[in-house]
Structure 1
Amino acid sequence: MHLQDQDSKTCAAHETAPTGASDRTVSWPRSLRALTGRLPPNTIGGLWILLAAFLFTIMTALIKLVGADLSVFQILAVRQAIMVLIVLPKIASGLPGSLASARPRLQAARVVFATTAMLCGFTALIELPLADATALSFSKTFFVTIFAIFLLGETVGVHRWGATIVGFLGVLLMLRPEGTGFVDPYALLAIAGAAAAGMVMVIIRILTRTDPPVTILTYQAVFVGLIMAVPAYLTWTPPTLNQWLLLIAIGIVSWAAQLSNIRAFRSGEATAIASLDYTRLLYATVFGVLIFSQWPKLETLAGAAVIICASIYTVRREAIRGRALARGPDGRGYNN
């Protein structure tokens, strides 16, 4: 979900090189680079974002599987530890400058919101049908609009407000699937996680004005893991061999999904490829049926359709106006 991704690792790689530049942080097979090099940039970006969406869905399915027996704190702590190990050379190469932030309080706020987004989003993933949790995570886009008004001073016109309101109507449709007054508390957690992820996206946009990418990466990678260490220790259940393999796979797939997402937005234009991220709902529906025997409710699919249409309208509208999109690769992953 989710969450994120996304984390500052995404922001770091996104900020360190221009679109189309050689990505030294991502080592992909030469044959694949040779094949994609003959395609138009937006086609390449589209393929990367489809891969990222697929990998994020695999990650959520793995979290749901292992979450049946292990606490979300334990899952998050191990996930962060594995991802820190993977990016440790990047972090170490920036020391001690990677710890010098011009806005440490804002960095701390970002870590808190990122932790909240992942805790809420992962808990919702474990307890809700996979497609339902995925669909609810799409509401992140509209929280970005609201937070950007107050924190970034953005001016939002009637068209964007209209799309935001329509999107929230889609969320309300999913929150009351039976037409009763009962709201699933885990659905509310999914919305809370999406809101926290939206806040993280806006904070990242502020931080990148003053702090280098490696600093943002370091704070995210290290401090979320440290926050999770204590509750993970208190709720620790010794994993079986199969559970350890699942936990390791979650960390590796999370890293690969974020890198694919980075490559997508560095290869193609956000306005051309962003809507392809919504294929995660299709993947989540298929995985939910095949792995967990869970079919999404009709109201969930209808609400998701409303959110997706409103989001695509917002993206296209912003493209016409020539404005920078709030929704970008450096804010993903927090619900995933």
Structure 2
Amino acid sequence: MSPGRLSLALPRIAAMGDTARAILWMLASGVLFILLNGTLRLLAQQLDPFLTGFLRYSFGVLVMLPFIWRAGWAAYRPAAMAGQLWRGAVHTSGLLLWFIAVPHVPLADMTALGFTTPLFIMLGAVFFLKEAMVPARWLAALIGFCGVLVVVSPNLSGGAGPYSLIMLASSPLFAASFLITKALTRRDAPHVIVVWQSLTVALFSLPFALPNWEWPSPGQWAAFAFCGAIGTAGHICLTRAFKLADMSVTQPIKFLELVWASLFGLAIWGDVPGTATWIGGLIIFASTSWIARREARRAKPV
């Protein structure tokens, strides 16, 4: 985008309601997390999975150090340490299960299992955060999930055995972590939450990484630095989205990650999407576009 167009776009973005901005932040986080998960899956097949998880979050701390140094540690002090520790412990539990399974679960199966997390989040938001159970949001989420199943069902192998169940068990833990994040946004800024997530997950995952420690190659160190940067950016985008709107608004947008993954595969590896991918992608795009437009209109003052 040229500087002139950017100068015209920024006021429009600033004029958007909180819901519309939350959807944009969620879209940005989805693109970043597709890059992150693809890189982490490759690293977890080369190194010990627990070591991979520890180094990913350790580099998340490192990329934030210049910002902490410039602003001062006081700017990153959380309002309540207990909440940050609970979030770190729950997120680490989900990550340990995810990293156990990820080297063994085919990509299509991993995609389908991972997309159960938004449904757990929406359910938890109703029961624990007392968000309104808006039928349109649930309809959009269910239609989006059906689109995911259309894409992945031709390639589901079922050959991962118990590892599929282990990966499925990580979904409610990730959902709980994100629900805690939503609660934390009421008192802490997104950058504070993301820094403490990296610190606590790195701390809690270190004991699991040490038994099978091995030094990464220069290329793997570079990959971890890349993961630290885009992972931190992705979580900041995600936390900003949670701060601006109900979680049930943002979750249908997450299904678009499957569309981004297909486009990246086409652009980078030349993987031509099949008919099921196009049909499922259109279903996902239609459901997320519909809920985004509906929520944007709903948020406008009358």
CA distance in structure 2 between the aligned counterparts of 1:193 and 1:308, rounded to whole angstroms? 26
Q: Greater CA deviation, 217-226 or 172-181?
A: 172-181
Q: 1:143 is matched with which residue?
A: 120
Partner amino acid for 1:242? G
TM-score where L is the length of structure 1: 0.63
Answer whether contact 2:36 2:231 (CA < 8 A) is retained: yes
Q: Is the 8 A contact 1:61 1:130 kept in 2?
A: no
**Within 1, Cα distance between the matches of 2:152 and 2:91?**
23
Cα gap change, 1:42 to 1:101, in 2 (>3 Å) = closer
Partner of residue 232, structure 1? 209
Structure 1 position 200 matched with structure 2 position 200 = no
2:197: which partner in 1?
220
Per-residue deviation, 1:231: 0.8
The CA deviation at 1:83 is: 1.6
Distance in 2 (CA, whole Å) between partners of 1:223 and 1:261 is 18
Return the letter of the residue paired with 2:73: L
AA partner of residue 39 (structure 1):
A
Once residues 216 and 229 of structure 1 are traced to their aligned partners in structure 2, the CA distance between those partners, rounded to angstroms, is: 20
Distance 1:73 1:299, change over 3 A: farther
Q: Equivalences for 1:45-124 in 2 at 5 Å?
A: 53-91=30-68, 93-95=71-73, 98-102=76-80, 104-121=81-98
Q: Distance in 2 between matches of 1:165 and 1:47?
A: 21
Aligned residue runs from structure 1 range 291-330, under 5 A: 309-322=286-299
- Seen in structure 2, the aligned counterparts of structure 1 residues 290 and 32 have a Cα distance that, compared at 3 Å, is closer
The one-letter code of the counterpart of 1:206 is: A
Extract unaligned runs of 5+ from structure 2. none
Relative to structure 1, is the Cα distance of residues 255 and 97 closer, same or farther in structure 2, using a 3 angstrom cutoff?
closer
Deviation at 1:70, TM superposition (A): 0.7
1:87: Cα distance to partner?
Answer: 1.0
Deviation sequence 1:76-107 (CA, Å, 0-9, x none): 211211121121244454535744543x4433
Counterparts in 2 of 1:159 and 1:36: CA distance versus 1, 3 Å: closer
For the residue of structure 2 that corresponds to 1:68, the secondary structure is: helix
Q: CA deviation at 1:314?
A: 4.1
Q: 2:6 aligns with which of 25, 36, 43?
A: 36
Measured in 1, the distance between the counterparts of 2:162 and 2:152 equals 9
| CA distance in structure 2 between the aligned counterparts of 1:178 and 1:261, rounded to whole angstroms | 29
Q: Distance in 2 between matches of 1:215 and 1:203?
A: 14
Q: 1:110 to 1:314 in 2, by over 3 A?
A: farther
Measured against aligned partners, the alpha-carbon deviations of 1:304-334 in whole angstroms (never above 9, x if no partner) come to 66555545444444344339xxxxxxxxxxx
Q: One-letter code of the match for 1:62? A: T
Q: 1:118 to 1:297 in 2, by over 3 A?
A: farther
Aligned residue pairs total 289
**Partner amino acid, structure 1, of 2:124:** F
Structure 1 residues 20-68: Cα deviation after superposition (integer angstroms, max 9, x where no partner): xxxxxxxxxxx97665223363599899877654443332222222222
Letter in 2 for 1:36: L
Question: In the alignment, is the contact (CA less than 8 A) between 2:190 and 2:239 conserved in 1?
Answer: no
Work out the CA distance in 1 between the residues paired with 2:168 and 2:277: 14
Partners of 1:99 and 1:112 in 2: CA distance: 18
Q: CA RMSD in A?
A: 4.7
Distance 2:97 2:284 in 1: 20
Give the alignment's TM-score, normalised by structure 2: 0.69
Question: Does 1 or 2 have the higher relative contact order (CA < 8 Å, sep 6+)?
Answer: 1
Q: Which residue of 2 aligns with 1:241?
A: 218
State the match for 2:129 in structure 1: 152
Greater displacement, 80-89 / 278-287: 278-287
Q: How far did 1:232 drift?
A: 1.0
Alignment CA distance shift 1:125-1:185 (3 Å):
same
Output the CA distance in 1 between the equivalents of 2:250 and 2:127.
Answer: 28
Contact 2:122–2:251, Cα closer than 8 Å, also in 1: no
Q: Contact between 1:139 and 1:307, CA under 8 Å: does it hold in 2?
A: no
Percent identity, please: 29
